[in-house]
Structure 1
Amino acid sequence: MQGVGFRAFTHRLASSLGLSGDVRNADGHVVVRAAGPVPALRELARRLAHDAPPGARVGSVVVAELPDHVLWERGFRVVDSTASTASTASAAGTPGVEGAAVPRGSREVPPDLATCEDCLVELFDRNDRRYRYPFLNCAVCGPRASIIEALPYDRARTTMRHFPMCQECAEEYHDPTSRRCRAEPVACPSCGPQLTWTARDARSPSHLAGAALGAAERVVAEGGVVAVKGVGGYQLVCDATDETAVRRLRRIKGQPHRPFPVMVRDLAAARSLAALDGPSAALLHSPARPVVLLPGRVPGRVGDSVAPGMAELGVQLPHSPTHHLLLADLDRPLVVTSGNRAGDPMIIEDEHARTVLGPVVDGVLAHDRVIRSRYEDSVRRVVAGRVTTLRRGRGNAPLSLRLPVRVPSPVLAVGARLAHTAALAQGDHVVLTPPGGDLSNPACVAAFQDTIATFLRLHAIEPEVVAHDLCPEYVSTRYAGEFAARRRIGVQHHHAHVVATAAEHRVNGPFLGVVYDGTGLGEDGTLWGGEILLADYARYRRLARFGTAPLPGGEAAAHRPAWSALGYLFGAERLGNHISPSIAPDLLERRPAEEVAGVRSMIASGVNCPRSSSAARLFDAVACLLGLCDEVGYDGEAVLRLEAAAGARDEPPALGWRLARQDELWVYDPVPTLWDVLVAATDCPLDLVAARFHTTVAEVTTALVTRCAEATGVRTVCLGGAVFQNRRLTASVLGRLTREGLEVLVGERVPAHDGGISYGQAVVAAARLAQGG
Structure 2
Amino acid sequence: MSEGATARDRQRLRLHVRGAVQGVGFRPYIYGLATRYRLGGFVANDPHGVVIEVEGEGKRAADFVTALPLEKPPLARIDEISVRPICVAASKDFSIRPSEQGKVSTRIVADAATCTDCLRELFNPASRFHRYPFVNCTHCGPRYTIAERLPYDRSTTAMKCFAMCEACSADYADPASRRFHAEAIACPQCGPRLSHGIEEIATAVATGGIVAIKGLGGYQLICDARNEQAVQRLRQRKHRDQKPFAVMTGSARDVAEIAEADPVELALLESSTRPIVLMNSRYRLAPAVAPQLSRVGVMLPVTPMHHLVLHALNSAHPRHDESWAIVATSANPGGEPLLIDNDEARQRLAAIADLVVTHDRDIVTRADDSVVSVVAGRTQFIRRARGYVPEPVRLARSVPPLLAVGGALKSTVTVTRGGEAFVSQHIGDLDTAEGIRFFEETVNHLLSTLDVDPVVIAHDLHPNMASTRFAEASGKRLIAVQHHHAHAASVMAEHGIEGPALALVLDGFGHGSDGGNWGGELLLCDGWCFRRLGHLAPLKMPGGDRAAREPWRMAASVLHGLHHGDDIARRFAEQPQASRLNALLDQCDVPTTTSAGRLFDAVAALLGGSAVQSYEGEAAMKLEALVRRPRIAEHGWTIENGVLSLGPLLLRVATEEVDPVVGAELFHGTFAAACVDWIGRAARQTGITTVALSGGCFLNAIVSGEIERGCIAAKLSPLLPRQVPPNDGGLSLGQAWIAALHFLEQQGPEGTA
After superposing the two structures, state which structure 1 stretch, 350-359 or 186-195, moved more: 350-359
* 1:563-599: CA deviation from partner (whole Å, max 9, x where unpaired): 22223333x4xxxxx442235565342322x4541x4
The residue number in structure 2 matching 1:248 is: 233
Cα distance in 1 between the residues matched to 2:666 and 2:453: 52
Give 1:521 deviation, angstroms.
1.0
After superposing the two structures, state which structure 1 stretch, 21-30 or 153-162, moved more: 21-30
Cα distance in 1 between the residues matched to 2:351 and 2:343: 12
Q: Does 1:763 align with 2:737?
A: yes
The residue number in structure 1 matching 2:257 is: 272
The residue number in structure 1 matching 2:611 is: 630
Give 1:600 deviation, angstroms.
4.4
The residue number in structure 2 matching 1:141 is: 140
Change (3 A) 1:19 1:554: farther
Cα distance in 2 between the residues matched to 1:418 and 1:661: 32
The residue number in structure 2 matching 1:380 is: 372
After superposing the two structures, state which structure 1 stretch, 527-536 or 418-427, moved more: 527-536
- Correspondence list, 1:330-729, <5 A: 330-331=313-314, 332-407=324-399, 409-485=400-476, 487-507=477-497, 509-570=499-560, 572=561, 578-583=562-567, 586-592=570-576, 594-597=577-580, 599-600=581-582, 602-607=584-589, 609-646=590-627, 649-654=628-633, 656-662=635-641, 666-680=642-656, 682=657, 684-729=658-703
The answer for unaligned runs of 5 or more in structure 1 is 85-103, 198-211, 573-577
SS at match of 1:512: strand
The residue number in structure 1 matching 2:307 is: 324
Cα distance in 1 between the residues matched to 2:579 and 2:101: 64
Contact 1:655 1:677 in 2 (8 A): no
The residue number in structure 2 matching 1:64 is: 84
Q: Does 1:190 align with 2:189?
A: yes
Q: 2:72 aligns with which of 43, 46, 52?
A: 52
Contact 2:498 2:527 in 1 (8 A): no
TM-score, normalised relative to structure 2: 0.93
Contact 2:638 2:647 in 1 (8 A): no
Give 1:660 deviation, angstroms.
3.5
Please tell me the residue identity of whatever aligns with 1:473: N
The residue number in structure 1 matching 2:286 is: 303
Give 1:438 deviation, angstroms.
0.8
The residue number in structure 1 matching 2:174 is: 175
Cα distance in 2 between the residues matched to 1:176 and 1:320: 25
* 1:622-645: CA deviation from partner (whole Å, max 9, x where unpaired): 111111111111111111011012
> What is the identity percentage for the equivalent residue pairs of Structure 1 and Structure 2?
39
Please tell me the residue identity of whatever aligns with 2:430: L
After superposing the two structures, state which structure 1 stretch, 158-167 or 33-42, moved more: 33-42
Give 1:532 deviation, angstroms.
1.2
Please tell me the residue identity of whatever aligns with 2:691: V
Q: Does 1:82 align with 2:100?
A: yes
Matched length: 718
Cα distance in 1 between the residues matched to 2:174 and 2:202: 37
* 1:492-534: CA deviation from partner (whole Å, max 9, x where unpaired): 1111111111221223632211110001011122111111111
SS at match of 2:289: coil
Change (3 A) 1:536 1:287: farther
Cα distance in 1 between the residues matched to 2:507 and 2:130: 49
Please tell me the residue identity of whatever aligns with 2:182: A
Cα distance in 2 between the residues matched to 1:41 and 1:559: 65
Please tell me the residue identity of whatever aligns with 1:76: F
Please tell me the residue identity of whatever aligns with 1:62: S
The answer for unaligned runs of 5 or more in structure 2 is 1-20, 315-323, 748-753
Please tell me the residue identity of whatever aligns with 1:334: I
Q: Does 1:285 align with 2:270?
A: yes
Cα distance in 1 between the residues matched to 2:632 and 2:554: 25
Contact 1:579 1:675 in 2 (8 A): no
Cα distance in 1 between the residues matched to 2:635 and 2:203: 57
The residue number in structure 1 matching 2:317 is: none
SS at match of 1:113: coil
After superposing the two structures, state which structure 1 stretch, 284-293 or 23-32, moved more: 23-32
Cα distance in 2 between the residues matched to 1:392 and 1:591: 37
Give 1:601 deviation, angstroms.
5.2
Q: Does 1:229 align with 2:214?
A: yes
Cα distance in 2 between the residues matched to 1:729 and 1:658: 16
Contact 1:718 1:746 in 2 (8 A): yes
Cα distance in 1 between the residues matched to 2:653 and 2:454: 50
The residue number in structure 2 matching 1:97 is: none
Change (3 A) 1:335 1:116: same
Give 1:65 deviation, angstroms.
2.7
Contact 1:499 1:537 in 2 (8 A): no
Change (3 A) 1:606 1:180: farther
Cα distance in 2 between the residues matched to 1:739 and 1:600: 43
Contact 2:212 2:331 in 1 (8 A): yes
Give 1:470 deviation, angstroms.
0.1
Cα distance in 1 between the residues matched to 2:623 and 2:110: 35
Change (3 A) 1:670 1:584: farther
* 1:190-242: CA deviation from partner (whole Å, max 9, x where unpaired): 00001003xxxxxxxxxxxxxx2211111100000010011110000000000
SS at match of 1:525: coil
Change (3 A) 1:2 1:700: same
- What RMSD, in angstroms, separates the aligned Cα atoms of the two structures? 1.6
